[in-house]
Homo-oligomer: A and B are copies of this chain.
Amino acid sequence: MSAVAHPMFVHPLGEDAALIPRTPDLAEPYHAVLSANLARLARWEPWALSEGSVADTAGFLRRSAVESLDGDLLPVLIGVRAEGGGWRLVGSSGLKIDRAARAGIIGYWIDESFEGRGLVSRTVTALLDRAFGELGLVRVALYTETANTRSRALATRLGFTEEGVLRRAIAFPGDHRDQVVYGMLAEEWRSRG
């Protein structure tokens, strides 16, 4: 399966990349890039320990998209321009939204060979702009394993504040790991240099 998608709607991230709505019609290319990264992701994410079928992926995408319609999630894919047209899918991100609390949580993953181009920074920046702009949130958090230095560096670079460590909050089989919480407030994001 190819990981190239031809979405109708995009959100440009500069010239070479874009965010794409994460919808069920993209089940096949999304499954392709997910499968290629699953073993690596299982280092950090318990959900990556089991591999599903394309139909499972389609079901997951549909549920996410319905949450999006209900204003509880902003699910996106990260694409870079493909040679023959369309966008090669290289990662996924999402903003979980708690409307009552006006708070959000950002998560993401990216294909190993596309690390280092600032794609995740641009993605998280776009989601924070949306969260603190149109969506009117007052707080966005980012949770990661304490040992995940790459994610922690990203959070720090973007100006998040480390707020605490939830001990044993990430459950791998027989191995419960500590999770660090980073928080960004609306006024902090707006006043960054």
The chain A residues found within 8 Å of chain B, CB to CB, are: 6, 8-11, 19-21, 23-25, 46-47, 62, 65-66, 68-71, 74, 100-103, 130, 133-134, 138-139, 141, 161, 163-171, 176, 181, 183, 185
Contacts and interface: CB of A to CB of B under 8 A. Distances in A.
Given A10-B9, A11-B9, A134-B6, A185 B167 contact: yes
Given A62-B69, A139-B167, 16 more contacts: A8-B11, A8-B19, A8-B74, A9-B11, A21-B21, A25-B71, A46-B100, A65-B69, A66-B69, A101-B169, A138-B168, A139-B169, A163-B166, A163-B167, A169-B183, A181-B181
27 contacts: A6-B134, A8-B134, A9-B9, A9-B10, A9-B20, A9-B21, A10-B10, A23-B68, A24-B70, A66-B66, A100-B171, A101-B170, A102-B171, A102-B176, A103-B169, A103-B171, A138-B171, A139-B168, A139-B176, A163-B165, A163-B166, A163-B167, A164-B165, A164-B166, A167-B183, A167-B185, A169-B183
